[in-house]
Amino acid sequence: MQERLYNGKTKLVGLFGYPVEHSFSPPMHNAAFAALGLNLCYLAFNVPPTALAEAVAGARAMDWLGFNLTIPHKEAILPLLDEISPEAEFLGAVNTVRIVEGRLLGYNTDGEGFLQALRQGFPQLNLAGQKVVIIGAGGAAKGVAFQLIKEGVGRLILANRTPSRAEAVVNALNKIGGAAAAIPLAQVAGELADTTLLINASPVGMYPHADVPPLVPQEALPPHLLVCDLIYNPPQTSLLQAARRAGCPTLNGRGMLLHQGAIAFTLWTGHEAPLAVMAAQLPD
């Protein structure tokens, strides 16, 4: 790790999670702070659910620049905040907080992070009017779906193991102008012939269970289909391997991880994030 000198003016940015030991955010943000010569320090704190309010009060009292939240605090933080962005309100989840003159302002950068990663990986892709299928209906699926609707996708299909959860998300999406529908997970294969983008927003295939078969078999993947997996460990999930064999373009979750962090960096510092510096701290 790069050597840094801190002094009486150093400001803190934190991560509250439980656990946090394996987070990539501290090296990613500290490398970015160092690259821009910012007198800031990012540290991760293992905060059990019962201590979140105390931890947040401490951050406010110590005038931190802000903090990130990860599992299990993304929803529990909401009543502790002074303001939340429209996206975070829609999602009912916050992953980034700015502290401005003692006020706590909450954001959710996951969905926009995914979209920026997609734009970076596939600059020619125009999703307006296109059909997108998302597997999953959890926090990540909802965040990505929210952004895709803002992007003007034509038809959004959510396929989830628990159908009622997908239906609840679809109802919420359609209230903000989406044309979304829920289908059973078993019907995904039949939807793909006219689909532009397939996104796995479930943890199926994630370390340490990387050798499970993909939720969609290779035979169901037409070669025009762009296949994304939000998982970044392993970098090539069983779904992405199947997609590559089927001749499909693919994208893993590393870019989303990078860009959600880059958006948070800009919210805190007001500076454009040094993407290459931050990316160098992430696993390949």
Binding site for ligand NAP (CB under 6 A): 110, 136-141, 160-162, 165, 201-204, 206, 230-232, 253, 256-257, 260
Nearer to ligand NAP, 99 or 198 (CB): 198
Distance of CA 221 to the CA centre of its chain: 24
Residue 74: active-site member = yes
Kindly state the smallest distance separating residue 10's Cβ from ligand NAP, in Å: 27
Q: Toward ligand NAP, which CB reaches closer, 59 or 145?
A: 145
**Single-letter amino acid, residue 147:** Q
Tokens of 79: 């009543």
> CB-wise, 11 or 259, nearer to ligand NAP?
259
Least Å distance between CB 233 and ligand NAP? 8
Of 74, 131, 142, 150, the catalytic one is 74
Angle, CA of 228, 129 and 170, to the nearest 5°:
70
Q: What angle do CA 247, 252, 257 make, to 5 degrees?
A: 165
Question: Which residue's CB comes closest to ligand NAP?
Answer: 138
**What are the structure tokens assigned to 156, written together?**
């959004």
Closest to ligand NAP by CB, 230 vs 246, is: 230
The residues assigned a catalytic role are 74
